[in-house]
């Protein structure tokens, strides 16, 4: 499990909790720089949900708090997660990229 991430220069704490809420498995508190994640999720669900919360925080950082909805965030999170899963070579190349391709 992840306990912290760096997001656009902001240190974000990831709290892994027994129970996040009644109708959610995660949420984000932009003001406190905290993502709360329900512990014990299957790995794919955990990381897809983490991406989902990161998108929420990014949109808040970029002043888009009122311009997005849950459906948009879900579509982006699922798409990005699957892209990463389907293209590990691209991810590895991004992480090791230097100079020109």
Q: Which residues bind Zn ion (CB under 5 A)?
A: 73
Q: How far is the CB of 53 from Zn ion (least distance, A)?
A: 7
C-beta of 64 vs 87, nearer to Zn ion: 64
Q: How far is the CB of 68 from Zn ion (least distance, A)?
A: 9
User: Could you tell me the sign of the dihedral formed by the alpha carbons of 8, 43, 35, 76, in that order?
Assistant: positive
Three-state DSSP class for residue 62: coil
C-beta of 46 vs 94, nearer to Zn ion: 46
Query: How far, CA to CA in Å, does 40 sit from each of 16, 23, 47, 55?
Result: 9, 16, 12, 22
Query: CA 7, CA 2: separation in Å to the nearest integer?
Result: 13
Q: How far is the CB of 50 from Zn ion (least distance, A)?
A: 12
C-beta of 2 vs 75, nearer to Zn ion: 75
């Amino acid at each position: 499990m992840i306990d912290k991430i760096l997001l656009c220069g902001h240190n974000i704490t990831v709290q892994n909790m027994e129970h996040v809420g009644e109708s959610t498995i995660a949420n984000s508190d932009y003001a406190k720089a905290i993502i709360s994640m329900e512990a014990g999720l299957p790995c794919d669900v955990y990381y897809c949900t983490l991406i989902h919360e990161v998108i929420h925080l990014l949109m808040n950082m970029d002043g888009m708090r009122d311009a997005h909805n849950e459906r948009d965030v879900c579509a982006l999170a699922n798409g990005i997660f699957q892209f990463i899963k389907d293209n590990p070579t691209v991810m590895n190349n991004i992480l090791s990229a230097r100079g020109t391709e």
